[in-house]
Amino acid sequence: DIQMTQSPSSLSASVGDRVTITCRASQSISSNLNWYQQKPGKAPKLLIYAASSLPSGVPSRFGGSGSGTAFTLTISSLQPEDFATYYCQQSYSTPWTFGHGTKVEI
Amino acid sequence: EVQLVESGGGLVKPGGSLRLSCAASGFTFSTYSMNWVRQAPGKGLEWVSSISSSSSYIYYADSVKGRFTISRDNAKNSLYLQMNSLRAEDTAVYYCARDDFWSGYDAAYRFFDYWGQGTLVTLSS
């Protein structure tokens, strides 16, 4: 199974900050990497797919980069509604696996 | 509008069984693979099972293999998860999620683009 390691597990930030979350795969997954945002009591929401593509409706302050084993989610200017937990997920091979999450809080 | 609505969760004793359902609407259900993903209280996301559009391909996480069975009824736009021999560690919110893909220049990239609101399964004696 491919292990996904996220860091940090949590971070404190302020509105307007630039935030970076990293995700590492235990083996190369090309660009088969997705990011999800989850707010308390809610279902996850797709944020980034194929490492760097934004679904329609996702604000452009969210960006993804990387390939192979190292990936990054960047929020260019943190907004109040961005305080949430973020998960990476590999879609290279089953079992699909998620990182343990990064909680972004004030 | 795409909607996925799970149901069937509840309180069950260890060793018991439960069948979850996911009602889909707003898209052509029969053309999409579907998944179950769960989240234990206060924990992260764990993929449970996938089923292809025609049920030809089915995959399970090792943690549920042999105990859980995923199925679908395309005529009813519904996804199911039959859970048997339930254990305390199966306590979680269970989400159904649609599986879509994007064709890049070199490969197809899969992702879960729509999720239901989840249904809670609680194991307790």
Q: Which of A28, A5, A27 is nearest to A89 (CA)?
A: A5
Nearest to B44 among A31, A55, A98 (CB): A98
Residues in chain B whose Cβ is within 8 Å of chain A: 35, 37, 44-47, 50, 59, 61-62, 95, 102, 104, 107, 109-118
Q: Is the pLDDT of residue B104 over 80?
A: no
| Residue B20 pLDDT | 98
Surface of A (74-93) touching B: CB under 8 A: 87, 89, 91
Neighbours of B89 (CB within 10 A): 10
| Residue A104 pLDDT | 97
Confidence grade of residue B105 (pLDDT, cut at 50, 70, 90): confident
| Neighbouring residues of A87: CB distance < 8 A, sequence distance ≥ 6 | A6, A35, A36, A38, A44, A98, A99, A100, A101, A102, B44, B45
Phi, psi of A30, rounded to the nearest 5 degrees: 55, -125
Q: Is the pLDDT of residue A68 over 80?
A: yes
Across the range A62-86, mean pLDDT stands at 97
Contact A91 B110 (CB under 8 A): yes
Joined tokens for residue A54:
């934004």
Confidence grade of residue B9 (pLDDT, cut at 50, 70, 90): very high
**B63: nearest CA in chain A?**
A95
- Residues of chain A found within 8 Å of residue B119, distances taken between Cβ atoms: none
